Amino acid sequence: MPFDRSTLEITLASASPRRRELMGLTGWCFSVCSSPVPEAPRLGEEPKEFATRLALSKANAARDACPDIAVILAADTMVIHNGVILGKPANAAEAFSMLQDLRGLEHDVITAIALLVKDQTSLTALCESRVPMREYEEGEIQVYVEGGSPLDKAGAYGIQDPDFHPVDIENFSDCFANVMGLPLCHLVRAMKQLGYVVLNDVPERCMQFTGYGCTIYPTILRGDL
């Protein structure tokens, strides 16, 4: 029996609460099935290659753990500062140090997404954002770290955190959702390539959710970015 792309059953291979929030904006029904994978880079592996490989590994691990599902979506987000990948801080002291290093400077955030479809189709996409950080005070860092929010985030910060608001939004012009962990317009573009219909106005919903006036989504949806 041919695979029917007119219906959609999607499984998100991620335990991230941010990704679940962002997926909720798409209008697609989804469930969560994540399975851990080794996250060590290979010798000489560039961050973009590393992120793409991890996204595919997460998707394949979810397929093994939750068989007989139509579409699996996985993602991997990396914060890169001065050529170094910043993962989730191991403790409060490391979170404090990361935020000190990022303060007042720019760094890159990349997210690779991987889609696996029941008929064995696979598709990957990559989004990259240049992120300027504001000149926050050390006292602000201390309060933020004591609140615990940085400890489950790559680079020790969340662009969406309203009390600390670490990013210099006035000088930020890339994909906000990418820095949160799931570039929605790249996902929409990929799903359309796979033949799926998008029912919601995802860019509008994303802007309402984040409060960020995105100007690059038409370029992404056209496939030019």
Domains, the chain, ordered by start: 10-222 (3.90.950.10)
Helices 184-193/202-210 angle, 10° precision:
160
Active site residues: 76
DSSP 89-135: -SSHHHHHHHHHHHTTSEEEEEEEEEEEETTS-EEEEEEEEEEEBP-
pTM to 2 decimal places: 0.93
Q: Give 46's DSSP letter.
A: -
Give the pLDDT confidence score for residue 66 in this predicted structure: 85
Tell me if 49 sits within 8 A of 207, measured CB to CB: no
Low-confidence ranges of the chain (pLDDT < 50): 1-3, 6
Find how far residue 28's CA is from the centre of its chain.
Answer: 17
